[in-house]
Structure 1
Amino acid sequence: MGGAANCPSVMNILFGYIILTVFLVLVCMEPNQVEARIEPPYPPDCELKALHEIAAELGKKDWNFSENPCNNKSSWFTPPPTHGSQAINNSTVTCNCSFTNGECHIEVIYLVGQDLDGVLPPSLSKLLYINTVILHRIYLKGIIPHEWAALKLETLSVAMNHITGPITGYLGNITTLKYLSLENNQFSGTIPPEFGRLVNLEYLTLNANYLTGKFPSSLANLSNLK
């Protein structure tokens, strides 16, 4: 009898097993529950209004404005391709929600492989935090809006569209640019000497247009080109 008193009862063993099982279930479920509970805030009203205007200018009708553009879901986000495959189309808006005041701001608009009946959107200039604009192979028309001169972009691609006219010198005002792709359009005229101001530029493509003339000497300032 003395030895039996030191042995754990069946009920104690069962109770310990239940506690361990519940603990493991909670550990496994907690990240998903937290993810489900926490939604990022909406971007400010002025940015939502700008998105409405941008959609109208692009002719883009599938953005769902009843949902938060910053939640990486639905019409605002294209999941990355599975391993071994290559994405053909993309429609993604990305926000930065790491601001200390808790706000989310739109930083990226990434549209690839869409047949849009619109123009390059002047209202992009109303997104004060945007740093990446990729409008690639979506068949936009028109010219580069002068409003874009106020942008603080690091990446700009409008390749493979139907953009016409000269390459405007005011792109040289976007001195934050590191990547600029204007290839496969219908640009005419010469390369603007104002491009010499883009001293942070690392990548520049202008091929497959109707450009004439010589390279401006100011391009020698672009010492970071790769």
Structure 2
Amino acid sequence: MPHQAHGLSAELGNKIPTKNNTDLLRDPSTLDVVSKFFPEVVGLPSIEYKSLTALNISATLPPDFSKFRHLKVLDLSRNFFTGTIPREWTTLKLETLSFMGNRLSGPFPKVLTNITSLTNLSIEGNNFSGSIPPEIGKLINLQKLTLSSNAFSGELPVELAKLINLTDMRINDNNFSGKIPDFISNWKQIQKLQIQGSSLEGPIPFSISALTSLSDLRISDLKGARSSFPLLRNMDSLKTLILRNCLIYGEIPEYIGDMKKLKTLDLSYNNLTGEIPGSFHKLTKADFLYLTGNQLTGSVPQWIVERNKNADLSYNNFTWEPASPIECPRGSV
């Protein structure tokens, strides 16, 4: 589809700013870039793809986008758009929409919940605030939802349980309240789940055990009471497992060593006790191993020093009894 956007630019005599044509954006007489070039393109309703990423556009979002009746992909990432989403956009039939890294603000724009054709929605890195409305449950076709790095608050609405087609969900760096909900078990197709610094409370619910398709699980900085290690058995597809500062106590389960695809394992700043499981030697693909800030005991396995250049086992209660003197690689244990 990108060739359609290129063709449109040529057809309009290069009046649409692209990565190779930013003169219009630098023109001091152009006070509102978008309002200048949208009148030129609204007569081309068949356009399906529009990307205006990283062009330093400072403007509010134009209502005229609603006239692109066939538009499926709209990417406005990494600009300086302000305000909120025009209500006229309700009529769009978008499948992918990204506002990542702008300056949009206000409550979660309910107009987006009426674009039920959406499969990919990213509004991360803006200044949205307030609670997530229950109307979000109407977006049943969503596969990827990224709400990270805003100022959302309140509990996660139960209507999120209706989004059973999710494969990627990210809500990092927000001000949510309440616990991680049990209804995450509805997201059985999910492959990436990121809940880092979201202000939610633990414990990580038992229902997470249903998410056996996960390849990337990142949870950190939970509030509340301590809890035992979450049940992650049979998550053989995991490549990244981060449970950092999650108030987890007890021993690390042996089955973690059966996650042979793991490349990153971070269990730092919990209350983990006991020894490093012997099964960990099977994690041959693990390039990053972080267990710092726990209460682990026993000796440090020789293979960790020899194999892992990016390992942090500091601030534990290990004893060091190497078979022979070894110089630790720079940046390791």
The amino acid of 2:113's aligned partner reads S
- Answer yes or no: is the 8 Å Cα contact 2:202–2:222 preserved in 1: no
> Which digits, 9 at most, give the CA deviation of each residue in 1:25-68, with x for residues without a partner?
399645883343242469xxxxxxxxxxxxxxxxxx94847334
1:144 pairs with 2:204 = yes
Aligned partner of 1:48 in structure 2 is: none
Aligned partner of 2:300 in structure 1 is: none
Q: Which consecutive residues of structure 2, in runs of 5 or more, have no partner in the other structure?
A: 1-9, 17-40, 50-67, 73-92, 97-106, 133-138, 145-163, 288-333
Aligned partner of 1:129 in structure 2 is: 189
1:177 pairs with 2:238 = yes
Question: Which of these residues, 230, 241, 250, is aligned with residue 189 of structure 1?
Answer: 250
Identity %: 20
The amino acid of 1:177's aligned partner reads L
Please report how far the alpha carbon of residue 108 of structure 1 lies from its aligned counterpart in structure 2 after TM superposition.
1.1
> Which digits, 9 at most, give the CA deviation of each residue in 1:109-134, with x for residues without a partner?
11111111121222222123211100
CA distance, structure 2, for counterparts of residue 156 and residue 78 of structure 1: 20
Question: Which of these residues, 107, 114, 117, is aligned with residue 67 of structure 1?
Answer: 114
1:209 pairs with 2:270 = yes
Aligned partner of 1:24 in structure 2 is: 11
Please report how far the alpha carbon of residue 143 of structure 1 lies from its aligned counterpart in structure 2 after TM superposition.
1.6
Q: TM-score, normalised by structure 1?
A: 0.61
Aligned partner of 2:166 in structure 1 is: 106
Q: Which consecutive residues of structure 1, in runs of 5 or more, have no partner in the other structure?
A: 1-22, 43-60, 82-86, 97-103
CA distance, structure 2, for counterparts of residue 79 and residue 123 of structure 1: 23
- Answer yes or no: is the 8 Å Cα contact 1:161–1:184 preserved in 2: yes
Please report how far the alpha carbon of residue 206 of structure 1 lies from its aligned counterpart in structure 2 after TM superposition.
0.7
Please report how far the alpha carbon of residue 156 of structure 1 lies from its aligned counterpart in structure 2 after TM superposition.
0.6
The amino acid of 1:162's aligned partner reads K
Q: TM-score, normalised by structure 2?
A: 0.43
> Which digits, 9 at most, give the CA deviation of each residue in 1:178-207, with x for residues without a partner?
101111221111111121221111101011
Q: Which one has the bigger helix percentage?
A: 1
The amino acid of 1:77's aligned partner reads S
1:77 pairs with 2:122 = yes
CA distance, structure 2, for counterparts of residue 181 and residue 68 of structure 1: 33
Larger relative CO (CA 8 A, sep 6+): 1 or 2? 1
Aligned partner of 1:46 in structure 2 is: none
Question: Which of these residues, 28, 42, 47, is aligned with residue 33 of structure 1?
Answer: 47
CA distance, structure 1, for counterparts of residue 206 and residue 259 of structure 2: 17
**Matched residue of 1:208: which SS?**
coil
CA distance, structure 2, for counterparts of residue 69 and residue 183 of structure 1: 35
1:223 pairs with 2:237 = no
**Matched residue of 2:252: which SS?**
coil
Q: Kindly report the root-mean-square deviation, in angstroms, between the aligned alpha carbons of the 2 structures.
A: 3.6
